[in-house]
Amino acid sequence: MSGAAATRDGEAPEHSPPSSPSYDVTGKVMLLGDSGVGKTCFLIQFKDGAFLSGTFLATVGIDFRNKVVTVDGVRVKLQIWDTAGQERFRSVTHAYYRDAQALLLLYDITNKSSFDNIRAWLTEIHEYAQRDVVIMLLGNKADVSSERVIRSEDGETLAREYGVPFMETSAKTGMNVELAFLAIAKELKYRALWQPDGPSFQIRDFVESQKKRPSCCSVL
């Protein structure tokens, strides 16, 4: 017999099984907030376990990283988009809202204007993002407590007003960085694999329970 597809005794040609993807669930996550609140450092701390010290250029437009985390035995691929906070890039950012499953909205606890602008960010989110998008409010730079101008209670109050989970974080020390992404990954996994008779999951309850643990910053 001849031909590349020929096999002995007329058997069907053998094919290698398709390689399985390295993840089970995927979700697009965006980091939002004013310029300088620490979004890029927050992402790098999560992705690489490192902190960018010193001065560096602000994000121009959009940056993008992937990371796969395992949640309850399920591999969740987070496609994380780091956005520019400057007003002149907002029109670019708006285009990326539409297919995002989760939004991490950051402010700087040492910068009052970054906190005051959270309402404007939430207005944009409600205008451009999906109705069921997951939103989490994060008060970043918690390691700089000596320069704090926004109380933790103020963040809690604002989060309750909008019905979103809240925690304070530090991109420098890693405090609650992994917890924030873990909570998002668990919520995305729950939504993707939801079953009527399966266990329920509430992201706000999960975040609150983890915040009470003494070492919540090292979860994952």
pLDDT for residue 19 is more than 60: no
Q: What does CATH list as the number for 21-218?
A: 3.40.50.300
Chain segment 96-109, per-residue pLDDT in tens: 888 999 999 999 99
Residue-wise pLDDT tens digits, 65-94: 999 999 999 999 999 999 875 555 566 678
Look at residues 64, 66, 52 and name the one whose alpha carbon lies nearest to residue 92.
64
**Of all helices (H) and strands (E), which one includes residue 108?**
strand 102-108
Instruction: Parse the chain into domains and list their residue ranges.
Output: 21-218
- Residue 19 contacts residue 25 (beta carbons within 8 Å): no
Q: Which of 23-37, 106-120, 179-193, 199-213 has the lowest mean pLDDT?
A: 199-213
Q: How far apart are CA 127 and CA 147, in angstroms?
A: 33
At 168 the pLDDT is 98
Which pLDDT does position 20 carry in this prediction? 57
CA 73-76-80 angle, to 5 degrees, is 155
In the chain, alpha helices (H): 39-48, 90-97, 112-116, 118-128, 152-162, 177-192, 203-211
127-185 per-position pLDDT tens digit: 999 999 999 999 999 999 999 999 999 999 999 999 999 999 999 999 999 999 999 99
